[in-house]
Amino acid sequence: MDVLEAIRTRRSIRKYTDRDVPDEFIEKILTAGIWAPSGKNNQPWRFAVVKDKKLKSEIAKQTIHTNILENAPVIIAVFLDHNVTYDVVKDANTMGACIQNMLLAAHALGLGAVWIAEIRNKMDEVRKLCGAPEEYELIAVVPIGFSREKEKKGRRTGLEKVVFLRK
Ligand SMILES: Cc1cc2nc3c(=O)[nH]c(=O)nc-3n(C[C@H](O)[C@H](O)[C@H](O)COP(=O)(O)O)c2cc1C
């Protein structure tokens, strides 16, 4: 899939079929994540890939989006490693680039995924469940699976409203 088409047609997918996500797809999604740009090339992303039903369910209970996480065949918890951070805003931007790459890769592979950040309300609980060190800050969880949703158009405010200078 062309990158512009992937950007334009990707939607947040919150319902999945039972079909397993092949491991090679998960590797491709993680690989897309680590090829994001990062400030000073510090690459602060860390990942916990969870397929185990029991652990997935424990993590799912930490968010209001329990159903989304429980029904996804795989979830990837994305952490920021504070051992290598250097600037709050720039490191946050880096993590956004990483997660967007992952969402686009999932879409290009024919999968559906969504960025779940609400779970940050329970970031310490999720970190402990994943066995991550204290320096790892939970940024988001990305549930992934084959979509069970109808095609979604999406909604954006047009360029005429958001571009305020063309000189
Ligand atoms: C920083 C961030 C946090 C988000 N957190 C959540 C979330 O906690 N739960 C959720 O259902 N969607 C979440 N989303 C997905 C947005 O709701 C979604 O991207 C937006 O509504 C636009 O829809 P689209 O992705 O289908 O274009 C988040 C997206 C971003 C970028």
Residue type, 152: K
Torsion of CA 53, 62, 140, 25, to 10 degrees: 10
Q: Whose CA is nearest to atom 20 of ligand 1?
A: 12
Q: pLDDT category, 1, cuts 50, 70, 90?
A: confident
Say what the pLDDT of residue 126 is. 98
Rounded CA separation 163/26 (Å): 36
- Domains of the chain, with CATH numbers? 3-162 (3.40.109.10)
- pTM, two decimals, is 0.97
C-alpha 83 – ligand 1 centre gap (Å)? 28
Taking only the tens place, the pLDDT of each residue in 87-126 is 999 999 999 999 999 999 999 999 999 999 999 999 999 9
Q: pLDDT category, 154, cuts 50, 70, 90?
A: very high
Q: Which of 115, 141, 151 to mutate to test the pocket of ligand 1 (most atoms within 8 A of CB)?
A: 115
Say what the pLDDT of residue 131 is. 98
Say what the pLDDT of residue 84 is. 98
How long, in residues, is the chain?
167
Taking only the tens place, the pLDDT of each residue in 7-61 is 999 999 999 999 999 999 999 999 999 999 999 999 999 999 999 999 999 999 9
Say whether pLDDT at 69 is over 90: yes
Q: Collect contacts of 121-128 with beta carbons under 8 A, ≥24 apart.
A: 121/62, 121/63, 122/62, 122/63, 125/62, 126/59, 126/62, 126/77, 127/79
Residue type, 9: T
